[in-house]
Structure 1
């Protein structure tokens, strides 16, 4: 990194303070009101032009003369998890789900490191304007965990309010060693489709099954049969995951209920496989209902995530830039992940390429760090933030550096 773009001692202190502030104050997806206000206050302090977008999203525009335009995204939402890390800065925050349920909230996926790191990168670029030229758009995006945030920002006119970037960059903390980077060319993360399925039956006494249409037995057959999609209908070289994450039916052991509800999560890497799997899911659900003499089930889409596709040319360039910063031996080319991200929707909306990478957040001496979405998930924040800031600045400077 250019010497003028190394964080100062004061900037590092502020970076750590920002992280600790955010870690203790997580907010649920699309409810990041205080987080957004905090981001706005920091951008105002830096003199960066900014505006709200997509409800609780914030966009900062850092202009420094004529030159390339590049966007950098950091997501800001927390998760409904009770933090169990035992650190003195652990979250005790609570939030309310859309259905009114009161829940604990933690930054169980490290979005606090993303926001703090992006703010620090912005602070460094503001100070180091002699080293770069162009425009950097900082996108602080809400609602990544529900796939609502990127779409909300696009729908709210994000790309009508800022110069169009030539590329959109983003990063995510992951529990491998700090100081290391993982990048996947092309299909980096999967598409995701979440469905709610309502089965209808006929209620009867548990001792009189002949008078019933049992939605529990119907659901069990459906869920078992759905697993044959990946094992018997897809080419073994095509990746897909079909998961039933919840099943709810009945109130008492001696009553066959009149309905059952279960939810599905489906992950695929290509549109062709996605269409095939979704068609098979619908076919099996409806066919098993017919086989049971039950009414047609109701299938409701809960949410969908787009594919995250890393442009090969830009990915190769960023691997080089990150390798110069960290050392080539600390940059790993990784296979696609079946996890999902709505990051790709930002660039897709205007037809520009994007590159997304993972940065290490775990203590290199920890043999089994907790994974994302665990109540024990806790980056070694000093090393994680140092990695995040260095990677962000190196990626941005590849495009706007002089």
Structure 2
């Protein structure tokens, strides 16, 4: 998730005193060292053995064993390969931590000795998220005198396809493990290791998004007699070019919308006009209303270009996945931000300007209410810096190729030596803050 600009520390309100370290955050980073070795072992193992969305069987098993070692009661196979670990510590709030299991179908090119070599890659930091979640659970088990309540750690499959959260909720996640008082999550970002970034109130952390599969029909034939055929490739080409106007000419300049045709597949031979062409389209928007307008425009363009080509059948437009924009609960997010300032120092808590990346994490809140039947489940989400000091200084100095590799890049590689301990501490501090209600 690459931010559009470098976040900057937010100054304290005029006349407001500097925040004092919260007692719940004292020493958490030091104590994180006690659980660092198992968390690092998990990270290295998961990074070397990535599994893509829906295929996370080994990953789920490894994650489950780490949660059991931390003292959690573990339930596997929730909504597919989903894992749920529960750590009870008396009466109190139910605080949920969420991490993702899946990797991407990207060939890793980092050159790391523990790089994945099976054609997949943890190019979005999900291996770090899992290591931090198990580390935080182990840390909270050691520091049980600081909090009371129930910790629930969720290992969610298939985040990259925006289908795993819905599958777990559809499998009765909240009915089986209890209504959360809050769900917390963090995400690796190309920011300095040891920093976190929170969105200001009313700024979306991540965008609303949808993925569309489009099937254009034609009439196959010989390239020597194109007048006897209907070429779906030409229709697809017109769709691709016409769609650029959805953003350039139909979207207000102040509105944020992106549209990408990521795949176009047609034909089996150069001398054959194919029967069909398929497109994969990704839409992102800063809010749900803008996304809906863009979806309507895409459908209109596809239908019109198919009709203009004289297609024998109407095209098929399927929304294969969709996600809502992510807005954090303002009060709880502000409290977690203060806990992070106490943990890391206020200069290491940055403002997040928003991102056009997408998440299915909103489904754990009101966006998923039609599935889980609950309204008012608060969400808190922040970005986690993973770039080592040397790489960051090089990026700040500028020059060609100086920017840190973004998420989803084959060169994306968190500086695990400086990122893992703060990742564990940030998650644990947020959990303790919510257990003690700030």
Cα contact 1:191–1:307 (8 A) shared by 2: yes
Matching residue of 1:334: 352
Cα contact 2:207–2:326 (8 A) shared by 1: yes
Structure having the higher strand fraction is 1
- Output the TM-score relative to the length of structure 1: 0.92
- Could you tell me which runs of 5 or more consecutive residues in structure 1 were left unpaired when the two chains were aligned: 95-103
Matching residue of 2:229: 212
Q: 1:169 aligns with which of 163, 184, 193?
A: 184
Q: 1:89 aligns with which of 76, 101, 114?
A: 114
Cα contact 2:28–2:343 (8 A) shared by 1: no
Name the SS for the 2:382 alignment partner: strand
Name the SS for the 2:180 alignment partner: coil
Shift of 1:120: 0.7
Matching residue of 2:42: 18
The whole-number CA distance in structure 1 between the counterparts of 2:184 and 2:167 is 19
Matching residue of 1:74: 99
Cα contact 1:6–1:124 (8 A) shared by 2: no
Relative distance call for 1:315 and 1:47 in structure 2 (3 A) is closer
Shift of 1:163: 2.6
Shift of 1:271: 2.2
Matching residue of 1:391: 426
| Superposition map of 1:2-41 within 5 A | 2-3=26-27, 6-7=30-31, 9-41=33-65
The whole-number CA distance in structure 2 between the counterparts of 1:165 and 1:86 is 41
Name the SS for the 2:215 alignment partner: strand
| Superposition map of 1:2-401 within 5 A | 2-3=26-27, 6-7=30-31, 9-52=33-76, 53-92=78-117, 94=118, 104-185=119-200, 186=202, 187-294=204-311, 295-348=313-366, 349=368, 350-351=374-375, 352-366=377-391, 367=395, 368-401=403-436
- Could you tell me which runs of 5 or more consecutive residues in structure 2 were left unpaired when the two chains were aligned: 1-24, 369-373, 396-402
Shift of 1:9: 4.3
CA deviations on 1:172-204 (whole Å, 9 max, x unpaired) are 111221011112244211122111111122334
Relative distance call for 1:38 and 1:279 in structure 2 (3 A) is same
Relative distance call for 1:279 and 1:9 in structure 2 (3 A) is closer
The whole-number CA distance in structure 1 between the counterparts of 2:216 and 2:175 is 44
Shift of 1:4: 6.3
The whole-number CA distance in structure 2 between the counterparts of 1:216 and 1:15 is 50
Matching residue of 1:101: none
Cα contact 1:4–1:131 (8 A) shared by 2: no
The whole-number CA distance in structure 1 between the counterparts of 2:70 and 2:262 is 44
Cα contact 1:176–1:364 (8 A) shared by 2: no
Shift of 1:375: 1.6
CA deviations on 1:283-332 (whole Å, 9 max, x unpaired) are 11111122222231111222222322212222222222211211222212
Cα contact 2:285–2:291 (8 A) shared by 1: yes
RMSD: 1.8
CA deviations on 1:10-35 (whole Å, 9 max, x unpaired) are 42222221211221122121222222
The whole-number CA distance in structure 2 between the counterparts of 1:106 and 1:4 is 31
Shift of 1:337: 0.7
Runs of 4+ in 1 over 6 A off after TM superposition: none
CA deviations on 1:266-286 (whole Å, 9 max, x unpaired) are 112222212211111111111
Shift of 1:255: 3.4
Name the SS for the 2:116 alignment partner: coil
Cα contact 1:188–1:337 (8 A) shared by 2: yes
Shift of 1:249: 2.0
Name the SS for the 1:243 alignment partner: strand
Matching residue of 1:100: none
Cα contact 1:4–1:128 (8 A) shared by 2: no
The whole-number CA distance in structure 1 between the counterparts of 2:221 and 2:37 is 66
The whole-number CA distance in structure 1 between the counterparts of 2:413 and 2:50 is 14
- Output the TM-score relative to the length of structure 2: 0.85
